[in-house]
Amino acid sequence: MKTIRWGIIGCGKVTEVKSGPAFQMAENSELIAVIRRDAALAKDYAQRHEVKYWCNDAQELINNKEVDAIYIATPPAFHHEYALMAAKAGKPTYIEKPFGLSHQQAKEMTNIFKKADIPLFVAYYRRALPRFVKIKSLIDQGAIGRPRFVDVLFYKKASKADLKGQHNWRVDPAISGGGYFVDLGSHTLDILQYFLGNIISADGHASNQAELYSAEDMVSGNFIFASGVHGTGIWNFSAYANLDRCEIVGDQGKIVFATFGDSPIELHTNGSVQNLDLPNPVHIQLPLIQSIVDELNRKGQCPSTAATALRTNWAMDKLRG
């Protein structure tokens, strides 16, 4: 098996624990190069994570002949630019979510990589986590009968930083493509499509209720999956408390779970509740990264590709109206 040698563009916070170490831990994988615009920070990251090369120029990293594949871990505003550079170099690429600033931008990246026959993956890593693989197997095995509908209820308190008016790129649409719905709600929409098939119809409304920043802080809507399952969702980011709850209801039971964290999955059948405790790994992207390495070595298939992520961008754009 070939060792896939990775280069990271944008070694910020998400790469410290969630993803960076996973490239070293996955079988047949090695992280050998990183880039940050601040050369001193790039050097510091490389030294702490035992990475061979570091620089502050993305093109230099992409052109490095020892780098086989690229991981783009920048904010979404820069995904398109770096992805096209990687495609031009003919290198398989793994991009942080959300895929692009919009469905149209994500579609352009997808088409360019597809035309060049270069693999393109997106970091909807929940598709490979044991807890969500288990939920999919329960649905596929008929544990709740035939799924009928999905209900998503997600709300959070406004952060102290937002209340103080401090700048946060995640709620700056020019950098993130939207607000917290795009950042967090995308994970829920993506994992639901992993369970139930593509969302083929969606309609919703977005509002800025608290007016703490320029992006929306409230999204509500409904959607329909190709499987015929109906869905409703409310996402609010200026509420009195925090709640993360998804219900998939079938004709013989239901599954209740949280998108974030690793609280027990609830399986409701025959008047009883079974709690399934499946903790997440410390380096939470490791299972998905392993699937990417395996696919590049032609011995497996990654469940989160440009094609699947493109549908999530489409659904988000529709729900935001």
Residue 57 structure tokens: 């120029």
User: What pTM, to 2 d.p., does this model score?
Assistant: 0.96
pLDDT value, residue 1: 87
Residue 121 one-letter amino acid: F
The full 3-state SS of 5-25, as one line of letters, equals EEEEECCCHHHHCCCHHHHHH
Render each residue's pLDDT in the chain as its tens digit; 321 residues: 899 999 999 999 999 999 999 999 999 999 999 999 999 999 999 999 999 999 999 999 999 999 999 999 999 999 999 999 999 999 999 999 999 999 999 999 999 999 999 999 999 999 999 999 999 999 999 999 999 999 999 999 999 999 999 999 999 999 999 999 999 999 999 999 999 999 999 999 999 999 999 999 999 999 999 999 999 999 999 999 999 999 999 999 999 999 999 999 999 999 999 999 999 999 999 999 999 999 999 999 999 999 999 999 999 999 999
Task: For Cα atoms 127, 185, 188, give the angle at the middle one, nearest 5 degrees.
Answer: 30
pLDDT value, residue 275: 98
51 sits in the region (left: phi over 0; alpha: psi -120 to 50; else beta) called beta
pLDDT value, residue 282: 96
228 sits in the region (left: phi over 0; alpha: psi -120 to 50; else beta) called left
H-state helical runs in 26-170: 39-48, 58-63, 79-88, 103-116, 130-140, 160-163
pLDDT value, residue 74: 97
Q: What is the DSSP letter of 182?
A: I
CA distance 96 to 235: 21
pLDDT value, residue 246: 98
Residue 130 structure tokens: 């044991």
Residue 138: CA atoms inside 13 Å, Cβ hemisphere, count? 26
CA distance 109 to 81: 9
Domains and CATH numbers, the chain: 4-125 (3.40.50.720), 130-280 (3.30.360.10)
What Rg value do the Cα atoms of the chain yield, rounded?
20
DSSP calls for 77-105: GGHHHHHHHHHHTT--EEEPSS-SSSHHH
